[in-house]
Amino acid sequence: MKFISALFIFFTGLLFSQPEIDKKNFPYSVTPDFFIDAVPYKSAEAGKTRMDIFIQLPYSNLQFIKSGEKYVAEYSANIIIYNEDKSLMLDNQNWNQKIVTEDFYATSSRGSFSLSLKSFNLAPGNYYGICQVTDKESKKNFKYENILFVPQLNDSLSLSGILLIQKRITDSNGKTRIMPNISGEVSSNIKTLPFMFEINSNKSRNVFLKYTIKNDQEEVFQKVIPEKLDSGRNNFSQDIENLNFNLGNYKLFVELRNERDSLISSISKSFHSQIFGFPSTVNDLDKAIDQMVYIASGSEYAEIKAAETYDEKMKRFTDYWEKIDPSPNTLENEILNEYYRRVEYANKNFGSYFGGWRSDMGMIYITLGPPNNIERHPFDYDSKPYEKWEYFNLNRTFIFVDYSGFGDYRLINADYGEWMRYRQ
């Protein structure tokens, strides 16, 4: 690991100086990412359910242009609802969004985002939804498509969906505005889970609400609260407190029960805990530590992995990234963000039999960044498919050959054989 350790100073410089090459030469893409959530509510239209579809687009995934003293970005979005087999388009909403900010820092922060809401009144059943967002400046786009399940909400008594809350903002007039948490990300330094939902009832009645939170291994919270419902719509804005979120996936359950403790209806919402200040892609502590093999020294890497408890392992992991933070007085850790951006990029583009970060292409890309030029030879009659990556500022060339024919490109340069020792 000494070779990678010695490369660290050089690597940190590359994080800020190595440009992405022209897409015509290097078309692997990490498209603009956005978060989407669909929440069902009782509709004013008889026999239908109102589906509120939220889109949250981080500023960091848009290209801002300086205009005077401000920074401007624009994107277009559209949501199309089809029947389940996509043979008939049932609804389509298009819109444009313009973002103006005076804060340059906000333009690259994942903590700043644009939020959109569109509502669709649909009969209960399965649909096929497609949502596409396009950054107007960079022309990058991201498409999300999936089955959209629209539940039947009973006229007599029904639960809406759950909307997670990012924060509540109270204005000068004392009115509270809700900022929803569409990404489903909960920071590990937060001990409270805020959320809201509705119960529609055709009469006043007494009920019980049972709240449960589970992670992949166990139940971490449960509480039953008696409630008095009024006739009509009842809004509930709740905060579950004194929680301790480890890194990982969770699910919140809300059960509506009558006075005899019989289940009437239930809803759930998935969310995940992330480390405060870390990218959302760092969602598995052991995997994130394994992926540090290209940047941490041998002793640092071994020390983190040797931690006996989860809490100690987390502390050593976060301490390492804090130690190399080039701007410790800001929330963003540029080296951390760039490193795991490259890991994510490698996973999306270089995976074959195993995670892309463990491939030879992933190893070179994560360590050195994108090459200045690529030559691709996928169909040469006298050779296996291969690629040549050139780093002009390093005066180095790396050649990868796909011996299997299944996209598993292996580094073959004899001059750079030492790189092979660091492949997992």
Same domain (yes/no): 299, 373: yes
Round to whole Å and give the CA distance between 190 and 274. 10
Same domain (yes/no): 86, 44: yes
Same domain (yes/no): 223, 256: yes
At residue 27, the 3 state secondary structure works out as coil
Which residues have CB under 8 Å from 412's CB, separation 6+?
399, 400, 401
249: number of CA atoms within 13 Å, CB side? 5
Structure tokens given for 139: 């022309």
With a threshold of 0.85, does the pTM exceed it? no
Residue 280 placed within a domain:
no
Burial track 322-348 (b if 16+ CB lie within 10 A, e otherwise): eebeeeeeeebbebbbbbbbbbbbbbe
First and final CA of the chain: distance in angstroms?
12
Same domain (yes/no): 243, 212: yes
Round to whole Å and give the CA distance between 327 and 331. 8
DSSP string spanning 94-158? EEEEEEEES-TGGGG-TT-EEEEEEEEEE-SEEEEEEEEEEETTT--EEEEEEEEEE----SSEE
pLDDT of residue 20: 39
Q: Are 238 and 220 in contact (CB under 8 A)?
A: no
Round to whole Å and give the CA distance between 351 and 133. 25
Q: Are 265 and 158 in contact (CB under 8 A)?
A: yes
The pLDDT tens digits of the residues spanning 366-400 come to 999 999 999 999 888 888 999 999 999 889 999 99
Same domain (yes/no): 352, 239: no
Residue 415 placed within a domain:
yes
pLDDT of residue 418: 53
Residue 228 placed within a domain:
yes
Round to whole Å and give the CA distance between 350 and 32. 19
At residue 346, the 3 state secondary structure works out as helix
Same domain (yes/no): 161, 49: no
The pLDDT tens digits of the residues spanning 255-311 come to 999 988 899 999 999 999 988 888 888 888 999 999 999 999 999 999 999 999 988
Round to whole Å and give the CA distance between 304 and 306. 5
Please give the tally of structural domains in the chain. Answer: 3
CB count within 10 Å of CB 270 equals 11
Cα three-residue angle 413-344-304, rounded to 5 degrees: 85
Round to whole Å and give the CA distance between 225 and 211. 8
Same domain (yes/no): 247, 211: yes
Residue 51 placed within a domain:
yes
Round to whole Å and give the CA distance between 415 and 326. 33
DSSP string spanning 277-297? TS-TT---HHHHHHGGGGTS-
DSSP string spanning 187-220? ETT---EEEEEEEEESS-EEEEEEEEEEESS-EE
Same domain (yes/no): 142, 44: yes
Q: What is the CATH number of the domain that holds 64?
A: 2.60.40.150
Same domain (yes/no): 356, 407: yes
Residue 355 placed within a domain:
yes
Of 224, 255, 274, which one is at a domain's C-terminal end? 274
Tens-digit pLDDT profile for the chain (424 aa)? Answer: 333 333 444 444 444 333 333 333 333 334 447 899 999 999 999 999 999 999 999 998 899 999 999 999 999 999 999 999 999 999 999 999 999 999 998 888 767 899 999 999 999 999 999 999 999 999 988 899 999 999 999 889 999 999 999 999 888 888 889 999 999 999 888 899 999 999 999 999 999 999 999 998 899 999 999 999 999 999 999 999 999 888 889 999 999 999 888 999 999 999 999 888 888 888 889 999 999 999 999 999 999 999 999 889 999 999 999 999 998 887 778 899 899 999 999 998 997 677 899 999 999 999 999 999 999 998 888 889 999 999 998 899 999 999 887 788 999 875 544 554 444 4
Of 102, 117, 151, which one is at a domain's C-terminal end? 151
Same domain (yes/no): 252, 301: no
Q: Which domain holds residue 210?
A: 154-274
Per-state percent for the chain, helix, strand, coil, to nearest 5: 20, 45, 35
Return the amino acid letter for 37: D
Same domain (yes/no): 301, 402: yes
Residue 91 placed within a domain:
yes
Residue 39 placed within a domain:
yes
Return the amino acid letter for 65: I
Same domain (yes/no): 318, 417: yes
Q: What is the CATH number of the domain that holds 247?
A: 2.70.50.60
Of 135, 151, 167, which one is at a domain's C-terminal end? 151
pLDDT of residue 173: 85
Residue 279 placed within a domain:
no
